[in-house]
Structure 1
């Protein structure tokens, strides 16, 4: 079943995967690119996966384990040189601020820099 295979791959990786990443692995196994895309969206809608845009206009997807569903979102590190993405430990960011306008919520946190390999 395609949806289970897409979810299995998302949950077995250490970093978010784009549709192109998944399709490059699954199309040679007989999966259709459009089916992979639909399954990604279905998994997000059902709460089994999440998607994130790290600023390059490419949606990347992560499988959510049951213990991750109710916790805080985790930030990502994006290497400016090689493009590697690393999931960082979940953290709570206090929303108290001295800014003129209070912050209601935070959608995404992406840290950019250079990884140790670069």
Structure 2
């Protein structure tokens, strides 16, 4: 199953609010829902700056859980959402934001499964 289909299934099941695949130059390859515009600046700033342990998106506070060159994980401790960015292939990245109530651990495992199936 193509990765886009697997991500769309997670959106249709209410697990993800949105998903995006982009290349290393920042060009969006695929996004769903089509009008989803994920928060980029606070996420990438937190990923780049190791002194940042958390950031806000609207009125939701996210804490950085993991920060490596290949992935970034941040979650709201009250269960209002998770953001995960994973390297996909040589020059592509997956950016997802979960729906409320989805744990970072469960979402990460679902993404790994989707990557494995694609």
Using the size of structure 2 for normalisation, the TM-score is 0.33
Larger Rg: 1
Higher strand share: 2
Greater length-normalized contact order (CA 8 Å, ≥ 6 residues apart): 2
Using the size of structure 1 for normalisation, the TM-score is 0.33
Higher helix share: 1
